């Protein structure tokens, strides 16, 4: 099948792609966007989370046949002109990053939350990442990082 | 302290948050092929036939390798050094699978998706053999002869003198059972290999804890000289002990050598859970004797550990459990019997704390039971028995140095408001929700001293621009060891840690080192970095004295500069000294030192928790948690807090929800998916307060001791204590799942 979509603001199209090809394989293998990680392949761990049309989704569960016309943002698409997004900065400065394997998914899940709800409560943040496993931390620094950027005017504007 | 004790992110935080860090599974090399494994669906069988024809017809499939077209040679995943005695039992692909998940074959394809799809087209015909699902089956002879060298590994030892027992003594026998759990590092097991047949050189990239240890296994297996194997530690997406054994490296090394092409093998989550390594189920029967006033007199432990199909590290693990029994409490006599029993279950192996958390579960449960029987406060009972400065570890005949477990207990008692909280449990409970407060403590080691090759080598060099390189064989697990070394080197040299470059393990580039295990990184390698930093300062002063034509003792080194003490205006920067070294004296400003660990101080923690048990659903909520740790010196407090909180998340999960035992056991199968294996998520994880007691040890860098393992030691035991307090139960097992809690309450009501 043919597929046209937008990834990190750029139009991409495939002339002949298997309808069952997973979004994560399209990103990692076809587009060489290796920031998105596979942790379980069945939507349980959230490591492969990307933003699709404004919502956090598991890229291991979406197939090419579901992607036509969609707008995808991956971890590589967050920094603008080399500058880290405010949320990325917060993850670094709050010591929220350890092994880092869950991080692309964790950042995208919380970015999607902030796009929809610029001032989430702690409970809303914890709920939003309930499907993203981090085995290194107790989630506290991650939650603090997200809380530190909530409600900032730029963030509202961006979303 | 200029840099030590400030909070830093992990060194590669920004790369990770940008998504540009390359993990081994992200590596792509020219002509690379991808592997996907075909594993046994039976716990014990002989493979009669493998039909690969349908797989080979798929476009993109290069070949299928299996037990009938590959080597029959065996290796041991745990024989990382010459002095480890363990039989070689494992084949790359076996015709005699011994557990569900054992490697039988692999599809080699041009891309990973094709390799995985083709696996489903391979038909394996088996002849089923009798299988042992538990150590009891094995001890009853079900798999006698499965391994020619035997299926049971036993240790029996005694330390100290058995004291006379009085009639008034409390003599109690307790049992504790641990279930099989898995590490759930977010990065699955992965290895990449590239063999150069012209050079007979093999390069392997993997997230591992010892490049030299992996090299030892692979070199011996493939009969390639040590100096022709380049083992590179890649960025590690979590290990927790799971990536310390040599599991995939011999497999990709062999396949790349065979096919003469680079090979990548990334396990699926199911593969990581069932084909790689897990933490052993074990059961321990313990006899403890206390005097009436609460002094522990003796401990007698009989432990049976399920090693899974290959003995791997289990024989060492079950022995270490006995040795850990003296790292927290002081008493006159220990009798220990430990058996690692082979079964037809996934292979057990190293897990964070290397038996110390299991030992804490056993002893802390016995302590709580004794406190009840002696009608004593649990903390008071522990305070009477924990080790103190000057005590000697009877196994290694060395002191525990400045151990502060008593202070962890008393500080925690006050901070947690222990007495008040314990008292209020009843009034906070109602018919449905029961509140309980519990605690536990534990100790651990700092390195391998006095065993093994516990030395580190550090090489420091100043470049022409004045930049400092520290060449050391580190293996950052993702918890910030590289940053710790930057801070240590920065403190010694008075240079901004961010400007110091630190290497990680690469057998072609970094010095010999036994690896990052046993909480030795900060304590041993960090001390080596201090020593090398001091040697570098001497070399800098020597070079500067020659440049300036003044005696060396007239100079002072300070923060990357050297000046004449009597005339501070006369000074040279590191850049100037390095350039002078190169072009005036034809030398490099380069020093190298060896450091042998001289000690193994005690390191401890005391943990406190309040839980709420829902007696309608059996769900346990950890409402509050306090962890107090004797750290010596906190080099990077921000990462220490993150690590402790992560350990609590992991230990709570293992105490409450995590198990690889399926709902209907008996088929040799285990839980093989995160759908059924529940780790605590952000919504369920407790908030954890961390208190660090800093009293610098006499040995580590600036007195620092390890934290990564000890912070995990008391966690599950603390939760067991709290749940038992809430329900008035004597649960002597983990995990205390909702089902088990409800079953118990049902029985109690009847």
Q: Matching CATH topology for B358-445+600-749 and B455-596? A: yes
What is the pLDDT, as a whole number, of residue B747? 87
Chain B contact present for A140, CB below 8 A: yes
Q: What angle is formed at CA B328 by the lines to CA B285 and CA B165, rounded to 5 degrees?
A: 55
The sign of the CA dihedral B733, B734, B735, B738 is: positive
For residue B9, give the chain A residue with the closest CA: A95
The sign of the CA dihedral B107, B113, B118, B124 is: positive
Angstrom distance (rounded) from CA A26 to CA A7: 11
Angstrom distance (rounded) from CA B43 to CA B52: 22
Please choose, from the candidates B5, B16, B463, the residue with its C-alpha nearest in 3D space to the C-alpha of residue A104. B16
Angstrom distance (rounded) from CA B705 to CA B600: 10
Q: Find out whether the peptide bond into B40 is cis, omega within 30 degrees of 0.
A: no
Could you read off the pLDDT of A81-123 as tens digits, one per residue? 999 999 999 999 999 999 999 999 999 999 999 999 999 999 9
Which pLDDT band holds residue B666 (cuts at 50, 70, 90)?
confident
What is the pLDDT, as a whole number, of residue B750? 79
The model's pTM is 0.97
CA B431 vs CA B428, B557, B624: distances in Å? 10, 70, 21
Helix axes B418-428, B715-727, angle to 10 degrees: 40
Rounded to the nearest angstrom, the gap between the alpha carbon of residue B13 and the centroid of all alpha carbons in its chain is 22
Could you read off the pLDDT of B140-177 as tens digits, one per residue? 999 999 999 999 999 999 999 999 999 999 999 999 99
* C-beta atoms surrounding A15 within 10 Å: 7
Cβ neighbours for B145, distance < 8 A, ≥ 6 positions apart = none
Angstrom distance (rounded) from CA B581 to CA B637: 38
Annotate A30-80 with three-state secondary structure.
HCCCCCCCCCCCCCCCCCCEEEECCEEEECCCCEHHHCCCCEEECHHHCCE
> Looking at the partner chain, which of B478, B648, B688 has a beta carbon nearest the beta carbon of A100?
B478
Angstrom distance (rounded) from CA B56 to CA B739: 46
Q: Which of residues 89-118 of A touch B (CB under 8 A)?
A: 91-93, 95-104, 107
Could you read off the pLDDT of A119-136 as tens digits, one per residue? 999 999 999 999 999 999
Please give the average per-residue pLDDT across B474-486, as a whole number.
98
Residues of A in contact with B10 (CB under 8 A): 95, 97-98, 100
Are the beta carbons of B520 and B603 closer than 8 angstroms? Answer: no
The sign of the CA dihedral B313, B319, B322, B323 is: negative
Are the beta carbons of B50 and B122 closer than 8 angstroms? Answer: yes
Question: B642–A98: do the CB atoms touch at under 8 Å?
Answer: yes
CATH assignment of B358-445+600-749, among 3.40.50.10490, 3.40.50.410, 3.30.365.10, 3.40.50.2300: 3.30.365.10
Mean predicted lDDT score pLDDT of chain B: 97
pLDDT above 60 (res B665): yes
Q: Chain A: nearest CA to B252, how far in angstroms?
A: 20
Q: Determine which helix (DSSP H) or strand (DSSP E) holds B603, and give its type and residue range.
A: strand B603-614
Are the beta carbons of B235 and B481 closer than 8 angstroms? Answer: no
* Residue B592 DSSP SS3: strand
pLDDT above 60 (res A156): no
Question: A101–B480: do the CB atoms touch at under 8 Å?
Answer: no
Could you read off the pLDDT of B227-283 as tens digits, one per residue? 999 999 999 999 999 999 999 999 999 999 999 999 999 999 999 999 999 999 999
Chain B contact present for A36, CB below 8 A: yes
Are the beta carbons of B108 and B64 closer than 8 angstroms? Answer: yes
Burial of B389 (0-12, 13-18, 19+ CB in 10 A): middle
Q: Which fold has domain B455-596?
A: Aldehyde Oxidoreductase; domain 4 (3.30.365)
Chain B contact present for A41, CB below 8 A: yes
- Give the mutation candidate from A33, A80, A137 for the B interface (greatest B CB count, under 10 A): A137
What is the pLDDT, as a whole number, of residue B749? 81
Chain B contact present for A45, CB below 8 A: yes
Domains of chain A and any CATH numbers? 3-77 (3.10.20.30), 86-150 (1.10.150.120)
Question: A44–B674: do the CB atoms touch at under 8 Å?
Answer: yes
Burial of B545 (0-12, 13-18, 19+ CB in 10 A): middle
What is the pLDDT, as a whole number, of residue A152? 52
Could you read off the pLDDT of A22-71 as tens digits, one per residue? 999 999 999 999 999 999 999 999 999 999 999 999 999 999 999 999 99
Q: Find out whether the peptide bond into A157 is cis, omega within 30 degrees of 0.
A: no
* C-beta atoms surrounding B72 within 10 Å: 11
Question: B645–A138: do the CB atoms touch at under 8 Å?
Answer: yes
Could you read off the pLDDT of B331-387 as tens digits, one per residue? 999 999 999 999 999 999 999 999 999 999 999 999 999 999 999 999 999 999 999
> Looking at the partner chain, which of A25, A96, A139 has a beta carbon nearest the beta carbon of B685?
A139
Q: Which fold has domain B13-129+189-266?
A: Aldehyde Oxidoreductase; domain 3 (3.90.1170)
Burial of B199 (0-12, 13-18, 19+ CB in 10 A): exposed
Q: Chain B: nearest CA to A151, how far in angstroms?
A: 21
Please choose, from the candidates A104, A87, A100, the residue with its C-alpha nearest in 3D space to the C-alpha of residue A137. A100
Angstrom distance (rounded) from CA A98 to CA A118: 26
Indicate the range of A155-159, B480-484, B662-666 predicted with least confidence.
A155-159
Are the beta carbons of B301 and B333 closer than 8 angstroms? Answer: no
Q: Chain A: nearest CA to B627, how far in angstroms?
A: 13
pLDDT above 50 (res B456): yes
> Looking at the partner chain, which of B20, B235, B238 has a beta carbon nearest the beta carbon of A136?
B238
Could you read off the pLDDT of B57-84 as tens digits, one per residue? 999 999 999 999 999 999 999 999 999 9
> Looking at the partner chain, which of A96, A101, A137 has a beta carbon nearest the beta carbon of B187?
A101
* C-beta atoms surrounding B750 within 10 Å: 5
What is the pLDDT, as a whole number, of residue A107? 98
Angstrom distance (rounded) from CA B409 to CA B696: 18
Could you read off the pLDDT of B682-706 as tens digits, one per residue? 999 999 999 999 999 999 999 999 9
Helix axes B738-749, B715-727, angle to 10 degrees: 30
Ramachandran category for residue B574: left, alpha or beta (phi over 0 → left; psi -120 to 50 → alpha): alpha
What is the pLDDT, as a whole number, of residue A52? 98
* Dihedrals phi, psi of B153, to nearest 5 degrees: -115, 125
Are the beta carbons of A115 and A51 closer than 8 angstroms? Answer: yes
Question: B674–A99: do the CB atoms touch at under 8 Å?
Answer: no
The DSSP 8-state label assigned to residue B291 in this structure reads -
pLDDT above 90 (res A159): no
Tokens of A46: 């959230």
Angstrom distance (rounded) from CA A108 to CA B297: 56
- Beta pairing, strands B620-630 & B688-693: parallel
Which residue has 């000046």 as its token pair? B563
Q: What angle is formed at CA B463 by the lines to CA B457 and CA B468, rounded to 5 degrees?
A: 50
| Domain range annotation of chain B | 13-129+189-266, 358-445+600-749, 455-596
Q: Chain A: nearest CA to B709, how far in angstroms?
A: 12
Question: B688–A140: do the CB atoms touch at under 8 Å?
Answer: yes
Question: B17–A74: do the CB atoms touch at under 8 Å?
Answer: no
């Amino acid at each position: 099948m043919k597929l046209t979509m937008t990834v990190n603001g750029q139009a991409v199209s495939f002339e002949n792609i298997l309808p069952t090809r997973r979004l994560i394989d399209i990103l990692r293998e076809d587009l060489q966007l290796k920031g998105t990680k596979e942790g379980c392949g069945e939507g349980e761990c959230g490591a492969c989370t990307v933003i699709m049309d404004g919502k956090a989704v598991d890229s291991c569960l979406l197939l090419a046949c579901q992607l036509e016309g969609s707008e995808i943002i991956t971890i590589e698409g967050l920094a603008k002109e080399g500058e880290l997004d405010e949320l990325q900065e917060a993850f670094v400065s709050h010591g929220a990053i350890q092994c880092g394997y869950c991080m692309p998914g964790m950042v995208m899940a919380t970015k999607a939350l902030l796009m929809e709800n610029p001032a989430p409560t702690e409970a809303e943040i914890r709920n939003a990442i309930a499907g993203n496993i981090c085995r290194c931390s107790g989630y506290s620094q991650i939650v603090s990082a997200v809380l530190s950027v909530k409600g900032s005017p730029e963030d509202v504007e961006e979303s | 302290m200029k840099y030590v004790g400030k909070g830093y992110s992990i060194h590669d935080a920004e790369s990770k948050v940008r998504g540009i860090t390359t993990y081994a599974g992200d590596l792509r090399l020219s002509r690379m092929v991808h592997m996907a494994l075909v594993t046994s669906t039976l716990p014990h069988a002989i493979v009669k036939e493998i039909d690969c024809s349908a797989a080979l017809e798929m476009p993109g499939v290069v070949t299928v390798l299996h037990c009938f077209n590959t080597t029959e040679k065996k290796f041991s995943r745990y024989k990382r050094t010459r002095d480890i005695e363990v039989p070689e039992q494992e084949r790359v692909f076996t015709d005699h699978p011994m557990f569900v998940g054992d490697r039988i074959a692999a599809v080699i394809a041009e891309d990973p998706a094709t390799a995985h799809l083709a696996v489903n087209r391979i038909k394996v015909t088996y002849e089923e053999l009798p299988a042992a699902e538990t150590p009891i089956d094995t001890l009853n002879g079900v798999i006698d002869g499965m391994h020619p060298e035997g299926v049971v590994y036993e240790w029996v030892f005694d330390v100290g003198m058995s004291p006379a027992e009085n009639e008034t003594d409390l003599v109690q026998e307790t049992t504790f059972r641990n279930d099989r759990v898995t590490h759930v590092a977010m990065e699955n097991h992965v290895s990449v290999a590239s063999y150069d047949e012209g050079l007979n050189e093999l390069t392997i990239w993997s997230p591992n804890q010892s490049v030299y240890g992996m090299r030892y296994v692979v070199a011996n297996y493939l009969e390639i000289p040590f100096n022709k194997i380049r083992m590179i530690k890649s960025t590690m997406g979590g290990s927790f002990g799971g990536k310390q054994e040599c599991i995939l490296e011999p497999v990709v090394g062999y396949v790349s050598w065979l096919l003469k092409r680079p090979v990548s093998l990334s396990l699926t989550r199911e593969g990581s859970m069932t084909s790689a390594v897990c933490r052993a189920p074990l059961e321990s029967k313990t006899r403890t004797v206390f005097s009436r006033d609460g002094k522990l007199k003796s401990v007698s432990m009989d432990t049976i550990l399920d090693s899974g199909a290959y003995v791997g590290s289990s024989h060492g693990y079950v022995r270490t459990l006995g040795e850990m029994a003296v790292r927290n409490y002081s008493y006159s006599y220990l009798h220990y019997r430990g058996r690692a029993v082979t079964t037809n279950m996934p292979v057990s192996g190293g897990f964070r704390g290397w038996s110390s958390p299991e030992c804490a579960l056993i002893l802390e449960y016995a302590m709580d039971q004794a406190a009840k029987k002696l009608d004593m406060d649990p903390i008071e009972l522990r305070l009477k028995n924990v080790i103190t400065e000057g005590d000697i570890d009877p196994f290694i005949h060395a002191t525990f140095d400045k151990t502060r477990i008593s202070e962890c207990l008393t500080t925690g008692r006050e901070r947690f408001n222990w007495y008040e909280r314990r008292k209020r449990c009843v009034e906070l409970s109602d018919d449905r929700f029961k509140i309980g407060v519990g605690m536990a403590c534990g100790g651990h080691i700092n390195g391998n001293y006095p065993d093994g090759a516990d030395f580190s080598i550090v090489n420091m060099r100043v470049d022409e621009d004045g930049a400092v390189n520290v060449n050391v064989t580190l293996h950052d697990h993702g918890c910030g060891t590289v940053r710790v070394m930057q801070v240590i080197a920065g403190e010694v040299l008075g240079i901004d840690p961010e400007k110091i470059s630190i290497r990680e393990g690469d057998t072609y580039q970094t010095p010999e080192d036994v690896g990052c295990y046993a909480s030795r990184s900060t304590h041993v390698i960090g001390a080596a970095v201090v020593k090398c930093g001091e040697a570098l300062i001497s070399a800098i002063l020597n070079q500067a004295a020659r440049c300036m034509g003044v005696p060396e003792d007239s100079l002072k080194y300070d923060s990357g500069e050297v000046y004449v003490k009597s005339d501070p205006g006369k000074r040279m920067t590191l850049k100037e000294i390095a350039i002078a070294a190169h072009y005036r004296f034809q030398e490099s400003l380069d020093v190298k030192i060896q450091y042998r660990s001289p000690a193994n101080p005690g390191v401890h923690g005391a943990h406190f928790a309040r839980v709420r048990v829902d007696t309608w659903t059996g769900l346990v909520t950890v409402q509050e948690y306090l962890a107090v740790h004797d750290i010596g010196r906190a080099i990077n407090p921000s990462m220490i807090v993150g690590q402790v909180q992560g350990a609590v998340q992991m230990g709570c999960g293992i105490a409450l929800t995590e198990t690889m035992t399926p709902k209907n056991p008996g088929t040799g199968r285990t839980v093989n998916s995160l759908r059924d294996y529940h780790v605590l998520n952000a919504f369920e994880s407790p908030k954890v307060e961390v208190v660090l007691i800093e009293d610098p040890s006499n040995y580590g860098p600036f007195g620092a001791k390890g934290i990564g393992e000890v912070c995990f030691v008391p966690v599950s035991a603390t939760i067991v204590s709290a749940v038992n307090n809430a329900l008035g139960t004597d649960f002597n097992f983990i995990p205390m799942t909702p089902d088990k809690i409800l079953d118990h309450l049902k029985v109690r009501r009847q």
